[in-house]
Amino acid sequence: MRHFLLGSLGYDALPFYSLIATFAASIVVLGALAVLVFVTWLKGWRALWSDWLTSVDHKKIGIMYVVVSFVMLARAVVEAVVMRSQQAVAYQNPGFIPPEHFAQLFTTHGTIMIFFMAMPFLIGIYNFVLPLQIGARDVSFPVMNSISLGLTSAGAVLLMISLCIGKFSTGGWTGYPPYTELSFSPGVGVDYWIWALTLSSVGNTMTGINFAVTIYKKRAPGMTLFRMPLFAWTALCISILMIFAMPPLTVATLMLAMDRYLDMHFFTNELGGNMMNYINMFWLFGHPEVYILILPAFGVYSETIATFSNKRLYGYTSLVWATVSIAVLSFTVWLHHFFTMGQDGNVNAVFGIATMLIAIPTGVKVYDWLLTMARGRIRVSVPMLYACAFMMLFVVGGATGVMLANPGFDYQVHNTLFLVAHFHNMLIPGLLFGMLSAYHYWFPKAFGFRLHEGWGRIVFGCWVGGFILAFMPLYIVGALGMPRRSQEFFEAVYRPYLWVALCGAFLVLGALVSMVIQLWTSIKNRKALAVPVGDPWNGRTLEWSIAAPPPEYNFALIPKIDCVDAFHEAKKHRDAWRAPEHYFDIELPSNTPVGFVCCVAGGVFGFALTWHIWWAVILGAAVFFGAIILRSFNRNTTYIVPASEIRENEERWLLTLRETAFIDNDAMFTTANNGLVKEPI
């Protein structure tokens, strides 16, 4: 009976195998309890349920994605600091973390940063901004959007549970067999990894479909593809990448699961298996994934550089084609991830050349951004600082990427910290800095008040300084031959560089703490930082043409577009912020609990499969599909916002606008900024 109820789950699953693991699990449990107590103290359960967990509003779903991302970022950064601390003291010394626990740390760190920090962050930003930028009321499939969030959240919850019950995989974030096969890893760690990634990848595939259809079908009248903002173009490209790149990952993880659960032999060393099939499928997903992560940052920098240079984006058409070229070429280079695995030299040469070619459209983008800044009226804002840091640091990462595109050089450094340095050199400036820039840039639109500028600069300094100190030394120790994933080492020459890297890791931890302080300070001073008019940066695109925070219906009347940067042109011709002659009722999708139910059911399903609790597997699957089927019978799926209510909201906002004084660009970062910045002469 115990086995029927609990499967393989027992007392030995509790995290008492290590003092560090026990402490980490305690932090997770206490953190969850603190959140429950805090919401109860605020008496916020009703509002949390009705306004957030059951909402299908793209803006709220986007904010919830970003919240998930920040929670997972906190865990991943702490794990990185622990790993760097271990390596700093690991010269001829086992240190304070045993090898298996160290392997869990680098697996969870990589898995979280790629799948549960980066992906939710960029999807959250797109969810919030994209419909506003293209003049839409919502995404094409609001309920599917909620289910996508639920599946991603369920995967994140599995990762957090693995810290408290059982152990996580030690097979790296890529999960290469045969090490992740049952004979080598018989515990539940790999199963946690499989089901967390499977839930996430299914949700991301649905998101790609949703965004692509939204862009194709929901653009405002007159907004042709070549009148879309660059941020929307990157959304279109990554949507297509997600549609075609996520399924290979889902198939690979499910085939690995069949090897482990059903004694199949897709990737074993015997009975007809071939582990290279897994590696091909994983990187058929993995390299497009790199550009799924980087292209959103390119879109953010295109918006922020144009806005804070007070210029139209230079080379708009070339930037569009460069974006499309990167998206296409990203499917042609996956094999450079296994140059060392024995394929023919001619094959290596072809993929090496393809890898070098992808640097060309990336270089076009950097030159176009620099030319946008040339002779512009540049305002050194926090988002602009991230853009400038990105252009300098990303070029270094790109240059090392061209070096690694040479199969001979790659053979020498493939399994060293040189590769770790390159990978982080691409993704931290190329993804994280871009998303932090977007967070600071669009925060006032989401919440109606700006983030504290001074603390924003401190956060920026800590992130950039921490990144440089943490990863630039790794190029040196990698070139000296230090293998990656080393829990202990025996060459004294590595020690000073690893101590510098540890200082960088602590500076990154300081950046995370500074972000919390910045948010707290901003909330505390939100009245002084309020921007109710909604245009605090003298923006150029449609999202800045409405109030902050935006109304539930986004636009009282869908705008008509006749050029790129339509809102900027309207301001130039004194044609912005005009009240519509007539107001009409607006139909919006109703709230539904189906996304939250799918989150809980998906989490139960993944946890039960991990621990072989078969009745819970059936229950989770039944609830998941039952919720979707029951939703299909619901005929009350929309509600009407009456024209009178819309008129009242809009007139109140327009009155605020008329009573607000224009400010100069020089006063943009002061408390005088209420969201109405005049165009410089």
| 623 falls within a domain | no
Q: How many residues would you count in the chain?
A: 681
* Residue 128 in domain: yes
Q: Is the pLDDT of residue 89 over 90?
A: yes
Give the residue among 331, 340, 116, 305 at the shortest CA–CA distance from 238: 331
Which two three-digit tokens encode residue 245? 């790149």
Residue 681: per-residue pLDDT: 44
Mean pLDDT, range 610-617, rounded to an integer: 96
Query: Does residue 33 sit within a domain?
Result: no
Lowest mean pLDDT among 298-302, 408-412, 464-468: 408-412
pLDDT value of residue 271: 84
Q: Is 334 a member of any domain? A: yes
Backbone angles phi, psi at 166, to 5 degrees: 85, -165
Segment (H or E) for 295: helix 275-309
pLDDT exceeds cutoff 50 at 438: yes
Arithmetic mean of pLDDT over the chain? 94
**pLDDT, mean of residues 251-261:** 96
Asked if 462 and 511 count as a contact pair (C-beta separation under 8 A), the reply is yes
Give the pLDDT confidence score for residue 340 in this predicted structure: 82
Say if residue 391's pLDDT is above 80: yes
CB-based burial, 217-236: b 16+ in 10 Å, e otherwise: ebbbeebeeebbbbbbbbbb
Q: What pLDDT shows up at residue 3? A: 78
Listing DSSP states for 82-101 in one string gives HHHHHHHT-BTS-TTS-HHH
Residue 66's pLDDT band (cuts 50, 70, 90): very high
Give the pLDDT mean for 558-584: 90
H or E segment and range at residue 586: strand 586-589
Of all residues in the chain, the percent with pLDDT exceeding 90 is 84
Distance between CA 607 and CA 617 in Å, rounded?
8
- The 10s digit of each residue's pLDDT in 661-680 is 888 888 889 889 999 887 64
> Using 50, 70 and 90 to split pLDDT, how confident is the model at 466?
very high
* pLDDT score of 344: 82
Tokens (6 digits) for 11: 């007392």
Mean pLDDT of 333-358: 87
Q: Is residue 187 part of a domain?
A: yes
Count: domains in the chain: 1
The CA distance from 236 to 232, in Å, is 6
**Domain extent for 332:** 44-592+637-669
Q: Please work out, in degrees rounded to the nearest 5, the angle formed at the alpha carbon of residue 170 by the alpha carbons of 168 and 173.
A: 90
In a domain, 631, yes or no: no
Is pLDDT larger for residue 17 or for residue 96? Answer: 96
Closest residue by Cα to residue 495 from 517, 513, 480, 514: 480
For residues 12-19, give the mean pLDDT. Answer: 87
pLDDT in tens, 514-550: 999 999 999 999 999 999 999 999 999 999 999 999 9
pLDDT 10s digits, 187-233: 999 999 999 999 999 999 999 999 999 999 999 999 999 999 999 99
Q: Is residue 675 part of a domain?
A: no
Taking the C-alpha atoms of residue 301 and residue 166, their distance in angstroms, rounded to an integer, is 41
407 in Cβ contact with 348 (< 8 Å): yes
Query: Which CATH number is 73's domain given?
Result: 1.20.210.10
Q: Is the pLDDT of residue 587 over 60?
A: yes
The pLDDT confidence band at residue 81, using thresholds 50, 70 and 90, is very high
Q: Tokens 């809009």 identify what position? A: 650
For the entire predicted model, the pTM comes to 0.97
Could you report the per-residue pLDDT of 281-308, keeping only the tens digit for each?
999 999 899 999 999 999 999 999 999 9
Tokens of 182: 């049952």
Task: Calculate what percentage of the chain has a pLDDT beyond 70.
Answer: 100
What average pLDDT score do residues 357-381 get? 93
Burial (0-12, 13-18, 19+ Cβ within 10 Å), 247? middle
Closest CA to 307 of 162, 123, 438, 460: 438
pLDDT for 679 equals: 63
Q: Once rounded to an integer, what is the mean pLDDT over residues 272-278?
A: 90
What's the pLDDT score for residue 628? 95
Please report which confidence band the pLDDT of residue 384 belongs to, taking 50, 70 and 90 as the band edges: very high
Q: Which of 461, 490, 485 is nearest to 474 (CA)?
A: 485
Answer yes or no: is 489 within a domain: yes
Which residues lie closer than 8 Å to 403 by C-beta, 6 or more apart? 409
- Contact, 444 vs 548, CB < 8 A? yes
Average pLDDT over residues 416-439: 95
Average pLDDT over residues 176-182: 92
Q: Can you tell me the mean pLDDT for 42-66? A: 96
Rounded CA separation 503/87 (Å): 12
What's residue 135's pLDDT?
95
